[in-house]
């Protein structure tokens, strides 16, 4: 299981990473998920990190889309 400091560090990474870094981390985590034993704590940790990463990517896309709409005067 991830400890509090590991989770905090990962969340800090999500806050500060650029799009390329997020893509690279997502690819690495997806590769790890594929080789870890089903039901293991390590796999659950990777799945948690993937879920958080995907949420961050979706949030950024939403913000970019909303900003683009405002700039174009559609909001």
**Residues of the domain holding 55:** 4-71
pLDDT of 21 above 70:
yes
Three-state SS at 38 = coil
Q: In terms of pTM, does the model score above 0.85?
A: yes
Domain count, the chain: 1
The band of 73, judged by pLDDT with boundaries at 50, 70 and 90, is: confident
- pLDDT for 41: 96
Residues in contact with 53: Cβ distance below 8 Å, sequence separation at least 6, in sequence order = 14, 22, 25, 26, 29
Tens of pLDDT, residues 36-58: 999 999 999 999 999 999 999 99
Instruction: Compute the average pLDDT of residues 20-46.
Output: 97
């Amino acid at each position: 299981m991830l400890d509090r400091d590991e989770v905090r560090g990962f969340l800090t990474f999500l806050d500060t990473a650029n799009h390329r870094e997020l893509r690279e981390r997502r690819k690495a985590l997806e590769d790890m998920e594929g080789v870890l034993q089903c039901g293991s704590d390590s796999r659950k940790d990777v799945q948690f990190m993937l879920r958080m990463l995907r949420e961050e990517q979706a949030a950024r896309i939403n913000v970019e889309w909303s900003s683009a709409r405002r700039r174009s005067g559609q909001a």
